[in-house]
Structure 1
Amino acid sequence: MDRLTEMEAFATVVDQGGFTDAAKKMGISKSAVSKHVSALETRLGARLLNRTTRRVSPTEIGMAYYDRARRVLNDAGEADALVTSMQTAPSGTLRISVATDFGVHLLSPVLGNFLSAYPDITVNMVLNNRYVELISEGFDMAIRLGEMEDSSLRARKLTETGQKIIAAPGYFQKYGRPLKIDDLNNHKLLHYSNQSTGNVWKITAPSGERRQVRSAGWLTVNDGQSLLQAAISGLGIAYLPSFLCADALKKGLVEEALPDLPDDPLGIYAIYPPGRYTQPKVRAFMDFLVDTFQDRGPDNW
C-alpha cells in the first residue's frame, strides 16, 4: 500500500476521532480506512490506536507518530499546491495594507500598470499607518517603511528612501537655523503621531553615532503630507522620507535643516505571511514592485 495513504488514513482517524468520520472525510469506505491503518501498524510493528466500542484514541507512540506524520502530509500538500500555483496564471483579489504616504505618492500612480498586466487580479488597497495583523485581518501583503517589528513574517525589500530634516526658508529666517543635532531641541518640531517611539527622532550624527531628539513638538499628526504642508507653511521642522519632500526641496519650498548629516536610508518592504510557497498573485505583485522601484531611491524621486 502507499505509505502516504496509510499516514493520511491514520492521521485522519486521529483528527476525526474515529473510523466512520475519517472515511467520510477521505471519501472512501470505513473498511478501507481500517485496512490502511492496520497495514501501517503492521509495517511499523507498533500499535498506534486504542480501539474501543465507543471511541478511538492514539497511543503514546501513536501520538508521537501522528505529530511527525501530520508534518509530512502538510509538506506533501504544500508541494502539490506549489506545482499547481506555478502553472496557474495570477488571479483573484489581492488585499494589501499600504503605508499612507507610500500608497498615495508612489503606488497609486503605477497601480494601473499592474492591473493592465494582470487583468485577472483585482486589488483591494487599504491605506493606513498601523501594523496590521496580516492573517487575522485577511491581508495578503503589507507595504511598510522602516524596521520590521514581526520577525515571524516574510519580508522582501523593495527599495530605500532617504530621510530629510526640512523646514521652510521663512521658518529659518524667523527662528534661526540649527547648526547641530542638539539644537533641534530648541526648535518647533513636527511629529508623526503613529511612531512606536513616540515623539522621538532617531538621527545618525556625522560621527556615525545614533542620536535621539526628544521634543513634545508643536504639531503631531498621523499623515506625512499634512506634516509637509505644515513645514511649507513655516510651522516648524519636519523629519520626512525623501520621496515625500523631494519635490518641495527642488522647488525651494523647504530647505534641509542639517544638510551635512550622513545618509540615513529607510527600507521599504513588502511583508507577507510565512509559508513554503507564495501565492501567484502575491508573487506577481512583489515582482512588479521590485521592477518598478529598482532604479528609485534613496533620494532619486
Structure 2
Amino acid sequence: MAYALDDIEAFLRVVETGSISAAARRLQRTKSVVSKRVSALETAFGVRLLHRSARGMTATDAGRDFYRRARAALAELDAAGEDLATDEQALRGSLRITAPMSFSTLILGPALFAFLRDHPGLQLDLDLDDRAADIAVGGFDLAIRIGHLRDSNLVARKLGTAERVIVASRDYADTHGLPASLDELPQHPAIGYTHVAATELWRFHGDDGPARHVPMTCRLVVNNGEAMRDAVLAGLGLALLPRFILADALADGRLVAVLPDAKPEPYGIHALYPYQRQPARKVRALVEYLQRTLQTI
C-alpha cells in the first residue's frame, strides 16, 4: 500500500475538525492538497474512510477504527522522536488542549501563554468548552478538568485545588435574608450547572464528622460558571462556585459569602491524557509546569 505519513495526518485533522477547509487551516495547507492526501489514503486502503455531506465530513466505521489506531501510533512515534532529545533541547511541535471556558479565560490561559513564550518551538490549539470533550475523538493531547472525575481509561494528574464559596447578591440578601445553617440552604433557590442534575447535592466537609450533602433545587441551570455568577448578581438565588470566578465581585461587595464558616468540598484540577507507554516530552513538560503554577486558587 502506497501512502505517506502526511496522508494520515491530513485524515486525522479532517476527522478532528469535520471539514477539509478547517483541516487545511490547521495544517497550513491548501484545501486541494488536504483533499488529495485523504483521497490517496482511501485509494491505498481500498476503503472509504469518510462520509462526505453538505454538513461536513464524518468518519465511517472503518474510518473511526483507523483514526483511533493511527492517532495512537503517531503519538507513539512523536514521543519516540522527542525522547531522542535531551532535557535541555527545545520543546517542539503542536499541542491540542481542551479546557473549561471560565477557568481558561481567568486562570489557565495566562499560564499557558507564559509557557508558550518560554518555548517558541511549540504551537498551541486551545479548545474552550465547559463540556467534557472526548479526548480521542477530538484528537486532544491533553484535557484540563475541574471537579469530580468520572472513571475512564485516561491518565489523571492533579494540578491543584479550586476553593468554592456559596454566594448571593447583596440585594438578594437584603430582600430575602440568608440561611443561618446548612439546614436552611434548601429553602433558597439555587443557580445550577447544566452538567449536573437539576436537583443537585452541595457537598460540605463535616466538622469532625461525616461529609454533609445538601440537596438544592435549581431555579435556573446554566452551562458556564461566569454566567452562573451573573445570574447570582441579578438576584436570582444562591450559587456554589469556585472562588476564582467570584473574586472581583466578592472584593467589591457586589456578592456576599453565604455561611462563610461552611466548608464546601473543593474541586480538584486535573490534567488528563490517553494511556500510552510514555506521554510526549512536551506533554510531560507542560503538566509539570502546570503542577508548579496551579496549586490552590
Q: Which bracket does the TM-score occupy, shorter chain normalised?
A: 0.5 to 0.7
Aligned to 2:54: none
Aligned to 2:190: 189
Determine if contact 2:204/2:264 at 8 Å carries over to the other structure.
no
Determine if contact 1:78/1:276 at 8 Å carries over to the other structure.
no
How far apart are the structure 2 equivalents of 1:91 and 1:266? 32
How far apart are the structure 2 equivalents of 1:79 and 1:106? 28
Tell me whether 78-87 or 158-167 shows the greater mean CA deviation.
78-87
How far apart are the structure 1 equivalents of 2:206 and 2:291? 30
How far apart are the structure 2 equivalents of 1:93 and 1:78? 10
Corresponding letter in the other structure for 1:124: D
Aligned to 1:287: 288
What SS class does the counterpart of residue 147 from structure 1 fall into?
coil
Aligned to 1:221: 222
Aligned to 2:212: 211
Q: How many Å apart are 1:106 and its aligned residue?
A: 0.5
Determine if contact 1:85/1:279 at 8 Å carries over to the other structure.
no
Q: Please, what TM-score do these two structures have when normalized by structure 2?
A: 0.67
How far apart are the structure 1 equivalents of 2:81 and 2:129? 32
Determine if contact 1:193/1:199 at 8 Å carries over to the other structure.
no
Determine if contact 1:143/1:268 at 8 Å carries over to the other structure.
yes
Identity of aligned residues (%): 34
How far apart are the structure 1 equivalents of 2:130 and 2:164? 17
Aligned to 2:32: none
Corresponding letter in the other structure for 1:120: G
What SS class does the counterpart of residue 136 from structure 1 fall into?
helix
Aligned to 1:84: 84
Q: How many Å apart are 1:93 and its aligned residue?
A: 1.6
Once the two structures are superposed, residues 45-96 of structure 1 have per-residue CA deviations (whole angstroms, 9 ceiling, x without a partner) of xxxxxxxxxxxxxxxxxxxxxxxxxxxxxxx999965742556632222110
How far apart are the structure 2 equivalents of 1:164 and 1:245? 8
**Does 2:164 align with 1:163?**
yes
Determine if contact 2:168/2:256 at 8 Å carries over to the other structure.
yes
What SS class does the counterpart of residue 218 from structure 2 fall into?
coil
- Alignment CA distance shift 1:120-1:261 (3 Å): same
Alignment of 1:75-154 (within 5 A): 83-84=83-84, 86=86, 89-154=90-155
Once the two structures are superposed, residues 175-203 of structure 1 have per-residue CA deviations (whole angstroms, 9 ceiling, x without a partner) of 11101112111101110111268633223
Q: Structure 1: any 5+ residue segments left out of the alignment?
A: 1-20, 22-75
Corresponding letter in the other structure for 1:260: D
Alignment of 1:9-24 (within 5 A): none
- Alignment CA distance shift 1:264-1:84 (3 Å): same
Q: Please, what TM-score do these two structures have when normalized by structure 1?
A: 0.66
- Alignment CA distance shift 1:222-1:208 (3 Å): farther
How far apart are the structure 1 equivalents of 2:129 and 2:208? 35
Once the two structures are superposed, residues 193-225 of structure 1 have per-residue CA deviations (whole angstroms, 9 ceiling, x without a partner) of 112686332233445433333333221100100
Aligned to 1:202: 203
Corresponding letter in the other structure for 2:84: T
Q: How many Å apart are 1:291 and its aligned residue?
A: 2.6
* RMSD between superposed Cα atoms in Å: 2.6
